[in-house]
C-alpha cells in the first residue's frame, strides 16, 4: 500500500523536474542574436510550459485520487474481512467454551456411570450372597426336616429269630421317612447333619420258655440302650429310647439279640422311630 501511494508522488516530482530542466535547456540553446526574439516569445512559451505542467499535475492527482479510492475500498474490504474473522473467532471461542463444558459434563457422567457400575457390581455381589444364603437356608431347612417311623414287617405277620448271633433288624414298613435318612433296605439310619436326635423302639413276641424278646439300639457299632422282655406264655412287649448327639454320617440301627425273637403283624407291634431335635 505504501509503494502504491509513493509511485504517484515520484511521478509528480519527475514531471516537475523535467519541466524545470526543459526550461533551463531552452534558455541555454537560444542564440544571443535571437534573445530579443526569444524574449518576445518567452511569455508564450512559459505559459505553454505552465499549462502542460498543470495538466501533468492534474493527471497525477487524478491518478492518486483513483488509487486512494481503490485503497479505501480495499481497506473497507479488509476491515469487513477482519470483522468477519473476529466474529468467527468469537464464535469459535464460544464453541470451545461449550465443548469444554460438554467435556466436563461427560467426565462427570463417566464418573457417575463408574459409580453406578460399582454400585451395581456390589448389588450383584450382595444378590449372589443373598441367593447363596437362601439356597443354604433351603438346604438347612431340608436337612433339618428329618424324621422317620417304621414297623418291622411290610405285610402279613411273623416272627423273626432266634439266631445264634446278633442280627441287624430291617424295618420295612414305612409310615414316614422325611429327609430319607432311613434306608428300608438295610435298616440303617444315617445322620445327614450334626445335631441331637431322638430314637424310640418297641418290641414284642409271644411267650416262650427258652427265647426272650430282646433288641438293642446301636450307634456306629456301639450298644446304647436295650429293650428286653421274657415270659413263658402269652404276648409280651418292651420299649426304650434315647437322645443321641450324632455327627454327619453316624449310623444308628436296631440289632436283634442272639437267641431272641421279635414278632410283628398288620397291627405293627414292633416299631422303630427317630427324628432330628435340633442341629448343632
Helix H or strand E encompassing 275: strand 271-279
Going by C-beta distance under 8 Å and a sequence separation of 6 or more, which residues neighbour residue 154?
Answer: 172, 173
Helix H or strand E encompassing 65: helix 35-144
12 has pLDDT over 80: no
Mean pLDDT lowest among 55-59, 159-163, 172-176: 55-59
Task: Specify the higher pLDDT residue, 27 or 53.
Answer: 53
34 has pLDDT over 50: no
In degrees, rounded to 5, the angle at the alpha carbon of residue 141 between the alpha carbons of residues 139 and 143 is 65
Task: Specify the higher pLDDT residue, 192 or 69.
Answer: 192
> Measured between alpha carbons, how far is 132 from 129 in angstroms, rounded to an integer?
5
Report the Cα–Cα distance between both ends of the chain, in Å, rounded.
Answer: 106
> Measured between alpha carbons, how far is 182 from 195 in angstroms, rounded to an integer?
16
Q: What is the CA radius of gyration of the chain?
A: 66
Does the predicted TM-score (pTM) go above 0.75?
no
29 has pLDDT over 80: no
pLDDT band at 142 (very low <50, low <70, confident <90, very high): low
Overall average pLDDT of the 74-79 stretch? 88
Amino acid at each position: 500500500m505504501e509503494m502504491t501511494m509513493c509511485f504517484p508522488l515520484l511521478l509528480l516530482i519527475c514531471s516537475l523536474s523535467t519541466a524545470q530542466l526543459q526550461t533551463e535547456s531552452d534558455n541555454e540553446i537560444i542564440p544571443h542574436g535571437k534573445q530579443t526574439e526569444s524574449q518576445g516569445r518567452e511569455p508564450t512559451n512559459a505559459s505553454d510550459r505552465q499549462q502542460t505542467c498543470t495538466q501533468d499535475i492534474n493527471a497525477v492527482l487524478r491518478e492518486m485520487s483513483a488509487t486512494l479510492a481503490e485503497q479505501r475500498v480495499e481497506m473497507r474490504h479488509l476491515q469487513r474481512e477482519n470483522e468477519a474473522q473476529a466474529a468467527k473467532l468469537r464464535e469459535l471461542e464460544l464453541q470451545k467454551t461449550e465443548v469444554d463444558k460438554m467435556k466436563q459434563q461427560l467426565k462427570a457422567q463417566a464418573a457417575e456411570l463408574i459409580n453406578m457400575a460399582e454400585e451395581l457390581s456390589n448389588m450383584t455381589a450382595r444378590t449372589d450372597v443373598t441367593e447363596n444364603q437362601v439356597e443354604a437356608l433351603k438346604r438347612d431347612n431340608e436337612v433339618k426336616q428329618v424324621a422317620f417311623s417304621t414297623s418291622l414287617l411290610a405285610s402279613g405277620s411273623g416272627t423273626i429269630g432266634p439266631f445264634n448271633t446278633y442280627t441287624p433288624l430291617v424295618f420295612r414298613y414305612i409310615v414316614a421317612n422325611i429327609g430319607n435318612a432311613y434306608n428300608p433296605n438295610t435298616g440303617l439310619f444315617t445322620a445327614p447333619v450334626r445335631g441331637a436326635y431322638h430314637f424310640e423302639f418297641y418290641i414284642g413276641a409271644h411267650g416262650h420258655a427258652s427265647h426272650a424278646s430282646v433288641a438293642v439300639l446301636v450307634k456306629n457299632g456301639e450298644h446304647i440302650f436295650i429293650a428286653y422282655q421274657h415270659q413263658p406264655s402269652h404276648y409280651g412287649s418292651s420299649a426304650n429310647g434315647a437322645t443321641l448327639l450324632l455327627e454327619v454320617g453316624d449310623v444308628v440301627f436296631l440289632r436283634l439279640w442272639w437267641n431272641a425273637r421279635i414278632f410283628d403283624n398288620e397291627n405293627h407291634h414292633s416299631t422303630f422311630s427317630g427324628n432330628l431335635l435340633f442341629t448343632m
